[in-house]
Each structure stands twice: as structure tokens, then as C-alpha cells.
Amino acid sequence: MSVEIDVLDEVTPEFVRRIEASLAEGRTEDLRALLVGLSATGQASVLEQVSEGERDKLVGVLKRDLDPEALTELDEEVLEDVLGQLDSKEIAAAARELEADDAANILEDLPEDERREVLAELTADKRAAIESALAYPEDTAGRLMQRSLVKVPDDWAVGQVIDYCREATDLPDDVYDIFVVDRVGRLRGSVPLGRMLRAKRPVSILDIVDPDIPSLPATADQAEVAHVFRDKNLVSCPVVDEEGRLQGVIMVDDVVDVIDEEAEEDLLKMGGVGSDDMHADTVRTARLRAPWLMVNVATALVASLVIGQFEGTIEKIVVLAVLMPIVASMGGNAGIQTVTVTVRALAMGELTAANALRFIAKEAVVGGLNGVLFATLLAFGVIGLFGDWRLGAVIGAAMICNLMAAALAGALIPIGLQKFGIDPAVSSTVFLTMVTDVVGFLAFLGLATVFLL
């Protein structure tokens, strides 16, 4: 939270306009003075807010003054553009200052030949750490973990551990836990730093170790990592290989980024957007959004076919054409509420086979209660406007049917998609819209055909 407040203080709209004015007037030294004084997050924020042409000029001004941490804060599209303005030596200089996992995230999308050039500029140890990170799939624990940690043998005493920590030159800046391993590197447990400092020097490290700490396999998906950190309230978590050997540690700051990414991804998918395209060019943005709109066209055609079956009824009672969108719209909005709650509960692991039936039943009752409430309001409104109690009864009954169907569909569709291995955030809304439109039009026009003609 404090970082966000600092960025808001640093990068105000007025500050960005000063940057743009200095660029337009060619005041390079003023630009450098303004940008170098920013935090890494502030520099990233400026680079994301200016136009692509202005961004290229800014990178040219900053070059080696660009904070390497700023690269880790950039949107993927902007990062690609910024890296395009840097040569291999400049990218390598930034990679030297970053943790291996962050450096890997920056280098992964570079062309293979350019990536090799960058890696060739690094020390053997740094290159090996980055290549080890790149060996894991992008969204796994292996890519999130840091190799820099405090690892000690299980036959040491507390005094030996303290002396080692004082004398070692390659320890991480932030240490929360001391990890204890056996002779072959298998994890035995961890010791919180505070507990170790309170222990006497002759005490064996195994006497104060916590052997039941959670650990994650290097192949674990980043969503699973986030669940473990949230459920266990962790600050750090060790990562192990298939034999239980310690490979690295994931810190909570990296998990916060993962939680943000997962939430953003689900939000974008529910809106029919495959990825964040805010910084993409216009043509690419249109191309990214077109496939989902095509799916919506197909489902809309299904609803229009239902309406077509009642063409004669609509011709005889024209007012039905005015009222039927109300029923479909109310069902759609009610269904979106249920879908949102369901997808969120599935993502958080709160909705399982144990409570699914209870959840579905509750949503059906909620849909029914809201259906009765709004059916009553709408029926009296229609009777007041058109003076026809039968028309009011028809639209009220259709409203109850559609809101109950929306509630059931909003719960069942995401659960069913997940059961078949499909991300419920991706497809739920489009299928829900089809259900609420079809049920709404069918119920309203069908009842009108039976009772009003």
C-alpha cells in the first residue's frame, strides 16, 4: 500500500506533463534529473503513461540510469518495447542487479540469439542461476523461487550458523528463516531467525528446527503457491525437487504479484479479454478481442431464433417487443452476480464437492426470492401503464422463471466447466448470457402466446 501511495505522490498528471514538455523541447538534462530521482516503480509508471514514441526517447535518455527493478514493474507490452531500445550489454547490466527469477522473467521473451548474447555478458554463477530458472515453465514455483537463501547442515550448532551468517558474502538482503538440510541437501525444516538468535551457541540447530514447515514442489502452479501462502500465512516457503532436496525459496513479495496477476487474469477473462491489452497497439487490440465477440455472435443467434418462433405473437401484441428485453436483461444481470461469486469461490478453493449442493440450493432460493420481488414490482408497473392484468401476470411469471434459471445457470456453468478442465472464468459469461436470453424470451413469449392470444 505504501508503495502505491509513493507512486501517486511521485508520478502525478502534472509530473507526466512536465516530462512530456521536456521531451518536446529537447531538454535532456532536465529529463534525466526528473527521472533519475524516481523510484523503480515511479520510472515504470512514467514509461507506461507516455506514448510509444515518447517512451523510446525516454529510454534513450535514461539508458544505464534506468533502475533495473523498473523493468520488473512494466506491463508485458511496454517491457518488450523498452528492451527493444536496449542493447545486449545494457540488458545484461540490468540482469546483474536482479534476482535470478526476475532476470529470467525479463529475458524469457527475447529472441534466442539475443538472449544468448545477454547471458554471455554475465558471470558463470549468474548465468547458471538464470538458465536454471528459465528451465521451469513460466507460471510455476520454480520460476518464482529465489536461489539466494541461508542453508545450513543439520549437524551444526547455533554458534556455527551465526558465525557463517556473519562471514558469508553471498547471503540475501532479507532473511526470515534459516533452512536446515541433510548431507544430500534434503530439507529437514527451518528455524525462524528470531528463534535462532535467542538460542545459546552450543545448542544443536536440530533442537530448535521446525520440521513440519510447508514446502512446494518446483513444478507447482503459481496459483497453488498463492493458496499455500494465504492459507498458511507465510512470509517465505521453501521449494524442493522430487527427492525433497532444497532448490530455493519463494518470498511473499513475489506471491503478492502472483495474486494480482491471477485476479487480473480472471477479471479479464470474464470480460472476454484474453490478456491486458491497454498498452497494445490498436490493430492488435482489435484482433485480441475479435474471437470472443464472434462467440457472442453465435450465442446471440440462438436467442434470435427463439424470438423468431414467436413472430406471430409479437405482430399481434406489439407491446411484447417493448417489454421482453426487460426480462432477459434482469436475468443476465442476476446471473452475472451468481457467476462472479461462483468463479471467485472456485478460485479461492472455498467451493468444493462437499458444499456445492448447498451453495447451488442457496443461489436457487436467492434467485426465486428476487424473482418474486421484481416480478411483483414489474407486474404492477405494467398493469399501471397498459391496464392489462394478464400482461402483468405474464411478465411477472416470466421474471420469476428467468431469475431462477439465471441463478442456477450462474452456479452450475462454472462448476461444470471446471469439472471438465475448462477455466470457468473464460466461458461462463457467454454461456450464461445465452441461457438467460433463451429462457427469458421463451418464458415471456411462450406465456404470452398461451394466455394473451
Rounded CA gap, 71 and 7, in Å? Answer: 15
Joined together, the cell numbers standing for residue 378 give 414489474
Please check whether residues 126 and 185 belong to one and the same domain. no
- Non-local CB neighbours of 323 within 8 Å, separated by 6+ positions: 382, 391, 395, 444
Segment 280-304 shows an average pLDDT of 76
Q: What is the pLDDT of residue 8?
A: 47
Angle at 142 between CA 158 and CA 227, to 5 degrees: 85
Sign of CA pseudo-dihedral 17, 20, 26, 29: positive
Joined together, the cell numbers standing for residue 381 give 408497473
- Non-local CB neighbours of 96 within 8 Å, separated by 6+ positions: 68, 122, 123, 126
Q: For the chain, how many structural domains are there in total?
A: 3
Question: pTM to 2 decimals?
Answer: 0.65
Q: What is the pLDDT of residue 2?
A: 39
Q: What is the pLDDT of residue 140?
A: 92
Q: Which domain holds residue 299?
A: 282-452
Joined together, the cell numbers standing for residue 150 give 541461508
Please check whether residues 173 and 91 belong to one and the same domain. no
Going along 325-376, which residue ranges are E strands? none
pLDDT one-digit tens code per residue, 103-124:
998 998 888 999 999 999 999 9
- Three-class SS state of 95: helix
pLDDT for residue 169 is more than 50: yes
Domain edge (last residue) among 238, 268, 298: 268
Residue 56, domain member (yes or no)? yes
CB 345 within 8 A of CB 351: yes
Joined together, the cell numbers standing for residue 345 give 469461490
DSSP assignment of 403-420, as one string?
HHHHHHHHHHHHHHHHHT
CB 82 within 8 A of CB 90: no
pLDDT for residue 278 is more than 80: no
- Three-class SS state of 250: strand
Residue 221 per-residue DSSP state = B
Residue 142, domain member (yes or no)? no
Q: What is the CATH number of the domain that holds 333?
A: 1.10.357.20
- Give CA separation, 105 vs 44, 152, 208, 310, in Å: 16, 29, 37, 56
Residue 188, domain member (yes or no)? yes
Q: What amino acid is encoded at 358 in this protein?
A: R
Entry field: residues in the chain = 453
Please check whether residues 238 and 380 belong to one and the same domain. no
Please check whether residues 316 and 169 belong to one and the same domain. no
Residue 237 per-residue DSSP state = E
Q: What is the pLDDT of residue 75?
A: 85
CB 70 within 8 A of CB 97: no
Please check whether residues 294 and 419 belong to one and the same domain. yes
Sign of CA pseudo-dihedral 128, 130, 131, 135: positive
